[in-house]
């Protein structure tokens, strides 16, 4: 890939219970973050897709990819190109089959995060298309382990900020070749594996702030898992 285009493939909006990022803020932050577009991957819902389409109409200079982050029995799974609310809490393989039945593309989300990651056992066998190797809220160790998993399984890598606030966008992203000119091209590139994860992990001060924020939000949900 000689000339690369950056897209954030893991973003949460106010349609997720733990995000304060509005779609207007997302659109307004893309250029500052050096991004051509972003995927909306709210937790277990596609309720934001209609508003995402309206945002895309208002900002044709950017790409807005419909997606969802699904809570499976083993950990979180990212799906791109789906338009229905997913099943929740089912085995990861069953969920991957659902994604493919919808015509979508499945990626393991932050597989080595201590919460919500698929872990070594599920990560080594799940029949996903892609592995998120650079997550903007992961530790360097967790991202390095995901990179090794991607290499060991010969699966393409992706990157995403896992953004919940404007400041998160662009910390991690996916790189696409310069023959990608539309959302349709981008989804096709994901299908054929023409993508690479890049960006940075979350440093120690950021990890402390993020852990405190996450703990407070969990307490507000009476510790109900997402």
Residue 104 belongs to a domain: yes
Question: Given pLDDT bands bounded at 50, 70 and 90, which one contains residue 3?
Answer: low
CB-CB contact of 155 with 129 (8 Å): yes
Question: Given pLDDT bands bounded at 50, 70 and 90, which one contains residue 218?
Answer: low
What percentage of the chain exceeds 90 in pLDDT?
85
Structural domain harbouring 216 = 4-220
**pLDDT score of 212 more than 80:** no
pLDDT, residue 217, reads: 62
Calculate the average pLDDT of the chain. 93
Residue 108 belongs to a domain: yes
Residue 225 belongs to a domain: no
CATH code assigned at 129:
3.20.20.140
Tell me what the mean pLDDT of segment 187-211 comes to. 88
Residue 73 belongs to a domain: yes
Residue 87 belongs to a domain: yes
Q: Beta strands 63-71 and 157-160: pairing type?
A: unpaired
CA angle 61-15-207, nearest 5°? 90
Residue 31 belongs to a domain: yes
Higher confidence at residue 84 or residue 226? Answer: 84
**pLDDT score of 2 more than 50:** no
Higher confidence at residue 209 or residue 119? Answer: 119
How many distinct structural domains can be found in the chain?
Answer: 1
pLDDT, residue 1, reads: 41
What percentage of the chain exceeds 70 in pLDDT?
92
pLDDT, residue 225, reads: 66
**pLDDT score of 9 more than 90:** yes
Residue 226 belongs to a domain: no
- For residue 83, give the nearest of 97, 104, 64 by alpha carbon: 104
Give the model confidence (pLDDT) of 87-119 as tens digits.
999 999 999 999 999 999 999 999 999 889 998
Question: Given pLDDT bands bounded at 50, 70 and 90, which one contains residue 211?
Answer: confident
Residue 70 belongs to a domain: yes
């Amino acid at each position: 890939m000689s000339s690369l285009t950056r897209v954030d493939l893991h973003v949460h909006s106010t349609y997720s219970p733990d995000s304060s990022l509005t779609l207007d803020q997302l659109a307004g932050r893309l250029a500052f973050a050096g991004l051509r577009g972003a995927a909306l991957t709210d937790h277990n819902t596609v309720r934001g897709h209609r508003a995402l389409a309206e945002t895309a109409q208002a900002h044709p200079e950017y790409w807005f990819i419909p997606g969802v982050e699904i809570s499976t029995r083993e950990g979180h799974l990212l799906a791109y190109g789906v338009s229905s609310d997913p099943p929740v809490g089912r085995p990861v393989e069953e969920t991957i089959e659902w994604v493919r039945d919808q015509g979508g593309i499945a990626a393991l989300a932050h597989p080595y995060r201590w919460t919500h990651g698929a872990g070594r056992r599920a990560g080594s066998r799940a029949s996903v298309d892609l592995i998120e190797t650079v997550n903007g809220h992961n530790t360097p160790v967790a991202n390095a382990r995901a990179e090794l998993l991607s290499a060991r399984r010969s699966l393409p890598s992706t990157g995403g900020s896992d953004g919940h606030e404007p400041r998160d966008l662009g910390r991690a992203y996916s790189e696409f070749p310069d023959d990608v000119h539309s959302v349709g091209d981008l989804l096709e590139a994901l299908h054929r594996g023409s993508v690479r994860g890049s960006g940075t992990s979350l440093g120690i001060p950021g990890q402390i702030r993020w852990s405190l924020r996450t703990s407070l939000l969990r307490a507000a949900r009476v510790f109900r898992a997402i």
